[in-house]
A and B are shown apart, each in its own frame.
Chain A
């Protein structure tokens, strides 16, 4: 059974940093591009970032480019999102998701999603 479990969310002050993790199991993690999608409270979905299966290529939405860094450790079956210079508008539930098409980096179709982790940005 495919499972994705996010962790690392919490309360952070504006301008602060936070690292999210997503532990994957039930599939060959190293064969799939992985993605982050976020959802502000009561709002819709926003695509954030992607990383290729071997970690060699990444993609960021303009809203987070230069502030967020996506990475992965295939030996630990774990995906990361390092978030910096956090703003109020970054407050959201962050979901990690597996790409339906294993090797597609940028075109995203999420076939499995984690339960999400909440990031609150407030002073």
Chain B
């Protein structure tokens, strides 16, 4: 069973800084079928990235995804106040399908 491990658990940064979030899979993710979601308190998840690097509709270009195989990264180039949230990665290419990482909390420093 594929397990996704996100690091760090919590990331403390200031607006304007660059954020780098990691998602490591216990085995290779088929076809780079990896997505990233943002979730704010009391809200549903919001799709940011799919296919490891494709931005979803309406997502600002300060969000970018990269990686393949077992190592994936979500980068936010310049943090805006509204970017502070919990971020989840999710794989959809391996068995069992559709597993999520445990999340990274991005908080204001």
| Residues of A bordering B, CB below 8 Å | 37, 44-47, 59, 61-62, 95, 100, 106-111, 113-116
Task: Indicate whether A113 sits within 8 Å of B45 (C-beta atoms), given known contacts A44-B102, A100-B50.
Answer: yes
Given known contacts A44-B88, A111-B56, A115-B44, A106 and B97 CB-to-CB distance under 8 angstroms: yes
How far apart are A109's CB and chain B's nearest CB, in angstroms? Answer: 5
Q: Report which B residues bind A (CB closer than 8 A).
A: 33, 35, 37, 43-47, 50, 56-57, 88, 90, 92-93, 96-103
A interface majority secondary structure: loop
Chain A contacts of B43 at CB under 8 A? 115
Instruction: Please give me the residue from chain A that is nearest to B100 by CB atom.
Output: A45
Question: Which of A45, A62, A95, A100 touches B47 (beta carbons < 8 Å)?
Answer: A100
Q: Are A111 and B57 in contact (CB under 8 A)?
A: yes
Q: If the complex has contacts A45-B90, A111-B56, are A106 and B45 also in contact, measured as CB distance less than 8 A?
A: no
Nearest CB in chain B: distance from A31 CB, A: 17
The 10 closest A-B pairs by CB, nearest first: A113-B44, A47-B98, A107-B92, A45-B100, A108-B98, A109-B50, A106-B97, A109-B35, A44-B102, A111-B47
